[in-house]
Amino acid sequence: MSQINILDEIILSNNVVESFYNQYNNNKDFKDWTSSNLPEINDCERQQQNNPWHKYNVLGHILHSVEEINKQTKHLNNNDRRILAYTMLFHDIGKPACHIVREKDGKLIDSFFNHNIKSERIARKILPNLNFNQQEIDIVAKLVFKHDIFMFIKEQKTSNPYWKVLSYDLIKQEIKDLSQVGDGKTLMRYLIMVGRADNLAQNEKMTAQSLAMLDKFDTMLDNLQ
């Protein structure tokens, strides 16, 4: 079995975290292939996340998020499941390259500004070597680039100029943007799944409000005229 097939099996399994670390720690061929073809994985394993929103290092968070997306996609065809699983594999892979330490509320925390941009670039570089066609690459890259949009959407208007208010017009705008690479409404549904998987792989003490907003976003998408 090729190393890509092994990675596919891991990424689409029910126990992504255990399966990945089993191969990564015990299969020298897989570890060497990963180091050569996905060197950012090693960087993610070394990158801690001293931040209230997180409880795993970057690689741990990524793997848990893949596991979480797989729970949501069991009703989808294998191709779409694979697209979404690899979206989660790549969504934070650029974090180590964007790492800074900053002070917030009197404490030093790790931050990773614009990591979505770096992650998208890495995805576009690597995905052609993982048996993805150009349309699939464009979809994964778009979802990776947009995976953090929900951080900046609130149910009510705030004084923060970077935060948008959840509305049907906003949802339509996002669907229009996603329509550049596929069926916009379907991809909007997938992006909500991505946001949910991302939150479920974070510190559960911080994510209740974000998950509730995603549920409301989902409901509004159902009711969109």
Confidence band of 141 (pLDDT split at 50, 70, 90): very high
pLDDT value, residue 212: 95
Convert the pLDDT of each residue in 40-76 to its tens digit.
999 999 999 999 999 999 999 999 999 999 999 999 9
Question: What mean pLDDT comes out for the span 93-111?
Answer: 95
pLDDT on residue 50: 95
Give the pLDDT mean for 137-162: 92
Domains: count for the chain: 1
How far does Cα 217 stand from its chain's mean position?
Answer: 18
Residue 106 zone, left/alpha/beta (φ > 0; ψ -120 to 50; rest): left
Say which residues have a Cβ less than 8 Å from residue 165's Cβ, sequence separation at least 6.
Answer: 153, 154, 155, 156, 157
pLDDT at 1: 79
Does the global pTM surpass 0.95?
yes
What integer pLDDT is reported at residue 225 of this predicted model?
Answer: 75
Tokens of 18: 């255990």
- Cβ atoms 75, 135 nearer than 8 A: no
Q: Provide the domain limits for residue 113.
A: 3-222
Task: Convert the pLDDT of each residue in 21-37 to its tens digit.
Answer: 999 999 999 999 999 99
Query: Which pLDDT band holds residue 159 (cuts at 50, 70, 90)?
Result: confident
Residue 186 has pLDDT above 80, yes or no: yes
